[in-house]
């Protein structure tokens, strides 16, 4: 098996070649990591972090370019590639412990000391130090279903930590069952993963074997190894694993506050206690941190992977609604999945409102803008232009209320627990004239070639022409001498202008 292809370190090397990584060779204190990570839109690689001289990489998934590189496709093809891979199951192959790189170093029993791992303060007012990049592997003891998620870890002491099991998730429900049945829930947390594994972990697919999601997204067989102190399978090519269990005593120790994905602090809440039974890692382990809860949500790992998964869900929702969009775009500077843009081709323009309604039906979506496909929907400037020139607020804005909001997360929620949503139809109004007044200026593009006509008169005898067509037809490459010729012909009454600005022979 190839244990290097989907190794985090291999991917980081690739990103360095692409110029996507800011590398820090100098010693950096753990307390300074977040400030440096937040200070750049690039991924950050620390070669000498903290007193243990960790190698640590942050924000590997924090951009479209980097997540597309993980798929090995250009950025605008990532969501289509994602959909393609999701259709194709891949095998999961168990390898013996002695072959698994993540078992090269094993720490058990009293040697376990979480304070030797790079937990650090990620936001000014967080309740403690965190590792933010953990992917959890579990099996629901009631159903036998394998679950994979992505969760932060808060350091408590040498052998215990907490995680946030308060947000709605499959793992929260699995753990609730364990508490009811008075049994602990074994988990193996992986730290240091390829972005495709991370993307798979953020998905919530209730009926799916979620280990299989990682294999699908990799588009390759997934090598797994059984954890040493529980039966859970984890990627054998990961960087580090923290094995252990949530005890059966339920939600009782405070997690948080923590800077959250919607751009505010999430409050404290009681969470279960996790007891560590072993730590295994590669000999040259590369630690990982994600960027989360900053003022630049667009640079967060959650946004980078959501660009792909959210846009894929939007393609699906539009297709199911019979709407054929030219492009969809997740606005990553807003909380994950809440703001979207769609570009429609002219023949689909009449479906702009249907498109808005189709996306309102996705719970997380709050804000939809529909534009024509003559615009680059990734451009804030172009979309702002369309919103002011093609959209009439009292006709083209849809506001609807009564949607279920997320308490404790969405500050716009009302007492009834609802939010409202807004849609902007910034497409060209149906029936708008298609004349030069409605065309967008662009620079002339005139190729070098031999003249098609001998003179201006000759060119106009073939039919009315815009000035640029005369420049092109006469291979002028300049245009000033054509202006002079046209003026002479106009003075003698030979040529004139049509209302759209084209030149024509007066006899036409």
Binding residues (CB under 6 A) for ligand FMN: these are 132, 147, 149-152, 163-164, 167, 169-171, 201-204, 210, 290, 292, 301-302
**Residue 398 half-sphere exposure toward CB, CA atoms < 13 A:** 20
Provide the minimum distance between the beta carbon of 255 and ligand FMN in the complex, in angstroms, as a whole number: 8
Provide the minimum distance between the beta carbon of 290 and ligand FMN in the complex, in angstroms, as a whole number: 5
CB closer to ligand FMN, 103 vs 292: 292
DSSP codes, 197-259: HHHHHH---TTS-HHHHHHHHHTSPEEEEE-SSSS-EEETT-SEEEEEEE-TT-S-EEE--EE
Judge whether 261 and 335 are in contact, CB under 8 Å: yes
Provide the minimum distance between the beta carbon of 148 and ligand FMN in the complex, in angstroms, as a whole number: 6
CB closer to ligand FMN, 8 vs 352: 8
CB closer to ligand FMN, 37 vs 474: 37
Cα–Cα nearest to 57, from 283, 294, 289, 304: 289
CB closer to ligand FMN, 364 vs 398: 364
Neighbours of 264 (CB within 10 A): 14
Provide the minimum distance between the beta carbon of 133 and ligand FMN in the complex, in angstroms, as a whole number: 7
CB closer to ligand FMN, 60 vs 69: 60
Provide the minimum distance between the beta carbon of 389 and ligand FMN in the complex, in angstroms, as a whole number: 37
Provide the minimum distance between the beta carbon of 392 and ligand FMN in the complex, in angstroms, as a whole number: 38
| 168: Cβ contacts below 8 Å, ≥ 6 apart | none
CB closer to ligand FMN, 130 vs 424: 130
Provide the minimum distance between the beta carbon of 16 and ligand FMN in the complex, in angstroms, as a whole number: 22
CB closer to ligand FMN, 127 vs 479: 127
Give the CB-nearest residue to ligand FMN: 149
List, as own/partner pairs, every contact residues 393-402 make where C-beta atoms lie below 8 angstroms and the sequence separation is at least 24, other chains included. 395/429, 396/424, 396/425, 396/426, 396/429, 397/422, 397/423, 397/424, 397/425, 398/353, 398/356, 398/357, 398/422, 398/423, 398/424, 398/425, 399/423, 400/360
Instruction: State the DSSP code for 26.
Output: S
């Amino acid at each position: 098996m190839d244990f290097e292809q989907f190794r985090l370190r291999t991917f980081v090397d690739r990103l360095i070649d692409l110029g996507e990584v800011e590398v820090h060779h100098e010693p950096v204190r753990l307390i300074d990591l977040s400030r440096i990570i937040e200070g750049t839109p690039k991924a950050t690689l620390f070669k000498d972090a903290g007193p243990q001289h960790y190698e640590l990489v942050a924000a590997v998934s924090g951009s479209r370019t980097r997540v597309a590189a993980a798929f090995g496709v250009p950025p605008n093809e990532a969501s289509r590639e994602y959909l393609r891979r999701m259709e194709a199951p891949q095998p999961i192959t168990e390898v013996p412990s002695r072959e698994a790189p993540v078992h090269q170093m094993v720490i058990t029993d009293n040697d376990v000391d979480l304070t030797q791992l790079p937990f650090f303060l990620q936001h000014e007012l967080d309740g403690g130090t965190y590792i933010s990049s953990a992917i959890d592997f579990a099996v629901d003891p009631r159903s036998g279903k394998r679950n994979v998620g992505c969760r932060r870890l808060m350091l408590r002491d040498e052998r215990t930590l907490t995680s946030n099991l308060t947000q709605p998730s499959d793992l929260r429900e699995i753990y609730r069952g364990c508490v009811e049945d008075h049994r602990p829930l074994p988990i193996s947390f992986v730290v240091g993963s390829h972005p495709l594994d991370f993307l798979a972990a953020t998905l919530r697919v209730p009926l799916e074997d979620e280990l299989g999601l990682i294999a699908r997204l990799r588009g390759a067989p997934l090598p797994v190894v059984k954890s040493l102190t529980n039966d859970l399978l984890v990627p054998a090519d990961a960087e580090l694993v923290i094995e252990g269990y949530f005890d059966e005593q339920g939600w009782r120790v405070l997690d948080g506050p923590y800077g959250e994905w919607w751009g505010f602090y999430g409050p404290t809440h009681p969470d279960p206690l996790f007891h560590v039974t072993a730590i295994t890692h590669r000999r040259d382990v590369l630690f990982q941190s994600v960027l989360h809860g900053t003022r630049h949500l667009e640079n967060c790992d959650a946004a980078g992977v959501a660009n792909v998964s959210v846009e894929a869900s939007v393609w699906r929702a539009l297709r199911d609604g019979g709407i054929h969009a030219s492009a969809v775009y997740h606005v990553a500077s807003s909380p994950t999945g809440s703001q979207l843009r769609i570009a429609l081709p002219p023949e689909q323009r009449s479906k702009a409102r249907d498109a808005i309604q189709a996306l309102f039906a996705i719970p997380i979506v709050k804000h939809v803008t529909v534009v024509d496909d003559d615009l680059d929907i990734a451009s804030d400037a172009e979309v702002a232009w369309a919103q002011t020139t093609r959209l009439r607020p009292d006709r083209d804005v849809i506001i609807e209320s009564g949607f279920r909001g997320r308490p404790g997360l969405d500050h716009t929620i009302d007492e009834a627990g609802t939010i409202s949503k807004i849609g902007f139809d910034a497409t060209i109004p149906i029936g708008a004239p298609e004349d030069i007044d409605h065309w967008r200026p662009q620079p002339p593009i005139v190729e070098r070639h031999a003249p098609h006509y001998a003179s201006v008169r000759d060119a106009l005898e073939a039919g009315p022409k815009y000035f640029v067509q005369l420049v092109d037809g006469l291979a002028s490459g300049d245009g000033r001498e054509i202006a002079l010729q046209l003026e002479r012909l106009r003075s003698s009454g030979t040529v004139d202008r049509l209302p759209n600005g084209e030149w024509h022979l007066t006899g036409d």
